[in-house]
Chains A and B, each alone.
Chain A
């Protein structure tokens, strides 16, 4: 990258916020910087579905006036951000990645969007995503999002645009939503940090639901510190989501001490095996050694029920989706992407008895995960089985049961255990494949102990240089 604004664009959100606060940087210039990058790069990356340039510039001018008046502003004052198009935005189209909602304009912001705006952040756009956050979309109605490290590869899903926009510095930070890995997958594939918080820590109000019992909104950022900053603003009780926790939200940034001495970390055997590619396994084992050198006690741990997680997750999540989509499946099937439609048709035909068996499996997996977290402070695993696959893989026809099994049920065990258990995970970059694609590390913690998860992720990040690398995009 050769543009002189690139270094500024890649600065962390925390650093940019400090520059705005001390008048070293104008919110107008900052918004224009990111909008120019979107204009220059997004024709190829297709991270955005909607760019709110006029609204963002107007908000930036107001933010600048506030700074000139001597106002302190919120902790994200003047920072441009973008959100997955799953979150409602007042007066701005919210498609959930589907033609079915092409003209949908909500009247109210999702709680997470409202909280970021209240902290001073400026919305610059809505990000591309797998249709209805289900993953596996073949033909994206608003353009194929592409991995900034290799344009022929997937960015991950379903928060693909969030991963792309964060990695390519098209915004200071982004928001995604994670049901079975939809933040962590794009973070790993695009080389960013991504946080799936404890279920119930972050409001779901105004987020188009995938599975009510597993949906969590969270940040994708270029550093762990930025994720700690943003998560602290997202978290906390919301009267509009009665299942949010009423616990006091700690200062996550204050937890980033760099000290992991004495932490007990379990390296999950079933997630190192079970289809994990050698490069992802090697990167995870190398990360375990780094954490060991920093003073953590890393030892193997076995969770025998984890191989069941993928199928159990799919039965629960897809059944919910099928129930929610029945009317559109009958009245407007042609408006779905073919992969979404076929997935929802399939889930519609599952016997209810199998749904309840999946619910029992979820309880068992949750019990195993929590039991392991009773003996360890954290669990360590690869975020995904390997680096981002080529886009073309999704386009291959499904001509046999074996292909269907491999494509749809064979790779979901890495992200789904934490979703089923409802526990927090931070995905953090941990290396690159021989093909130059990022690899991700997952650190999983106890319910509502995001502080420890972020502390360990930050210590690891600061001991390595993976987060400093930038995708090789050319103007």
Chain B
């Protein structure tokens, strides 16, 4: 895995954090940037799944739970 042109930079990650009120300090910024870029790459295949299919119900609540 190599850095790509779409990878976020440290400055961009710091700005994203600031927009949320998070002060991502210099000790954390390098790793957070690598983590976020790796995370976004790992999620790319999810966007390629067909939009149709099972409904995204958050939790499999037991259908027999009602008394």
Chain A positions within 8 Å of B, measured between CB atoms, are 198-200, 212-214, 237, 243-247, 307-308, 310-312, 314-315, 326, 329-330, 333, 338, 341-343, 345-350, 354, 356-364, 366-367, 397-405, 408-409, 421-422, 447-448
A-B contacts, 24 listed (Cβ < 8 Å):
A200-B59, A245-B64, A245-B65, A247-B62, A247-B64, A311-B42, A315-B46, A326-B21, A342-B31, A342-B32, A349-B20, A350-B40, A354-B43, A354-B46, A360-B46, A363-B56, A363-B57, A367-B53, A398-B30, A398-B34, A401-B7, A403-B34, A404-B34, A405-B41
Q: Is the CB of A447 within 8 A of B60?
A: yes
Q: Which of B28, B34, B36, B64 contacts A349 (CB 8 A)?
A: B36
Q: Is the CB of B47 within 8 A of A399?
A: no
User: Secondary structure of the A side of the interface?
Assistant: helix
Q: Which residues of A contact B20 (CB under 8 A)?
A: 326, 348-349
Q: Which residues of B contact A237 (CB under 8 A)?
A: 65
Q: Which residues of B contact A307 (CB under 8 A)?
A: 45
Q: Is the CB of B1 within 8 A of A401?
A: yes
Does any Cβ of A come within 8 Å of B11's Cβ? no
Which 4 residue pairs across A and B have the least CB separation, nearest first? A213-B59, A422-B60, A359-B56, A404-B38
Once bound together, how far apart are the Cα atoms of A448 and B63, in whole Å? 12
Q: Which residue of B lies closest to A365 (CB)?
A: B54
User: Secondary structure of the B side of the interface?
Assistant: loop
Q: Is the CB of A246 within 8 A of B66?
A: yes
Does any Cβ of A come within 8 Å of B26's Cβ? no
Q: Is the CB of A314 within 8 A of B42?
A: yes
Q: Which residues of B contact A214 (CB under 8 A)?
A: 59
* Given A358-B43, A358-B46, A398-B34, residue A363 in contact with residue B55 (CB < 8 A): yes
Q: Is the CB of A401 within 8 A of B43?
A: no
Q: Which residues of B contact A350 (CB under 8 A)?
A: 36, 39-40, 43
Q: Which residues of B contact A354 (CB under 8 A)?
A: 40, 43, 46-47
Once bound together, how far apart are the Cα atoms of A364 and B62, in whole Å? 18
Q: Is the CB of B17 within 8 A of A408?
A: no
Q: Which residues of A contact B46 (CB under 8 A)?
A: 308, 311-312, 315, 354, 357-358, 360-361
Q: Which residues of B contact A359 (CB under 8 A)?
A: 56, 58
Q: Is the CB of B43 within 8 A of A404?
A: no
Q: In the complex, what's the smallest C-beta–C-beta distance from B53 to chain A, in angstroms?
A: 6
Q: Which residues of B contact A314 (CB under 8 A)?
A: 39, 42
Once bound together, how far apart are the Cα atoms of A359 and B59, in whole Å? 10
Q: Which residue of B lies closest to A318 (CB)?
A: B39
Once bound together, how far apart are the Cα atoms of A338 and B24, in whole Å? 12
Q: Which residues of B contact A397 (CB under 8 A)?
A: 31
* Given A346-B36, A349-B13, A401-B34, residue A362 in contact with residue B56 (CB < 8 A): yes
Q: Which residues of A contact B64 (CB under 8 A)?
A: 245-247
Q: Which residues of B contact A212 (CB under 8 A)?
A: 59
Q: Which residue of B lies closest to A367 (CB)?
A: B54
Once bound together, how far apart are the Cα atoms of A404 and B1, in whole Å? 10
Q: Which residue of B lies closest to A212 (CB)?
A: B59
Q: Which residues of A contact B38 (CB under 8 A)?
A: 401-402, 404-405, 408-409
Q: Which residue of B lies closest to A243 (CB)?
A: B61
Q: Is the CB of A405 within 8 A of B49?
A: no
Once bound together, how far apart are the Cα atoms of A312 and B44, in whole Å? 10
Q: Is the CB of A349 within 8 A of B16?
A: yes
